[in-house]
Amino acid sequence: MSGGAITNQIRTLRFLAGEMSQAELGQKIGVTRQTIAAIEAGKYSPTLEAAFRIAEVFDKPLDEVFQWVKGG
């Protein structure tokens, strides 16, 4: 299995959505503020369902919110 990591644009998208707070986003998709913080920092990979919900909140396709970056 090749190495890689999931990155995301949640911080940017929150900023563009009128500086939406982590707590607000968490409330919209049914997770805690700490979970949003962990996802944003790349320390927790959300379930596919949560990922789709986040994309839906920002009205973006999934691959504009989350990206797979191949490792060396």
Partner 1 sequence: MPYREKSNLLALAAMLVAYVPYFAIVAATPVESAPMPNLPLLGLFAAVSILRMFVLGAGYLWFRVRTPDDVREKADERDRDIERKSMAVAYYVLIFGMILVACIMPFTHAGWSIVNAGLFAIVLAEVIRCIVAAWSYRRSAA
Q: Which residues bind partner 1 (CB under 8 A)?
A: 30-32, 34-35, 37-38, 40-41, 43-44, 46-47, 50
Closest approach, Cβ 65 to partner 1, in A, equals 17
What is the DSSP secondary structure assignment for residue 19, as one 8-state letter? S
Closest approach, Cβ 45 to partner 1, in A, equals 9
Can you tell me the distance from the alpha carbon of 72 to that of 59, in angstroms, rounded to the nearest whole number? 32
Query: Computed over its alpha carbons, how large is the radius of gyration of the chain?
Result: 12
Nearer to partner 1, 6 or 37 (CB): 37
Nearer to partner 1, 2 or 8 (CB): 8
For residue 14, the one-letter residue type is R
